[in-house]
Amino acid sequence: MSYATPFADEAQPICPACGITMHPLFDEGVPADECRECGFQLEWPEADAARVGDDDERDTRWD
């Protein structure tokens, strides 16, 4: 299989159970990666929620 990015396969996690490259379950709508060899699934971590006051803090680097 060829990818638009030659390193795309290397960006995927390795299964801790059998050492095979895991693949995302985008088509199934599951936020996880799955090993196609042994079926091990690794859920993606939830994104951190915004903190109160995040919008109030200005980025002054460009002022």
Instruction: Give residue limits of the domains in the chain.
Output: 9-43
In one-letter notation, the amino acid at residue 57 is: E
Q: And the tokens for 17?
A: 């159970």
d(Cα 15, Cα 35) in Å, to the nearest integer? 6
Residue, of 44 and 57, whose pLDDT is higher: 44
pLDDT at position 37 is 92
12-43 tens-digit pLDDT: 789 999 999 999 998 888 899 999 999 999 89
CA distance 30 to 27: 8
CA angle 29, 10, 8 (to 5 degrees): 60
Give pLDDT, residue 1: 44
Determine the Cα–Cα distance for residues 2 and 49; give it in Å rounded to an integer.
36
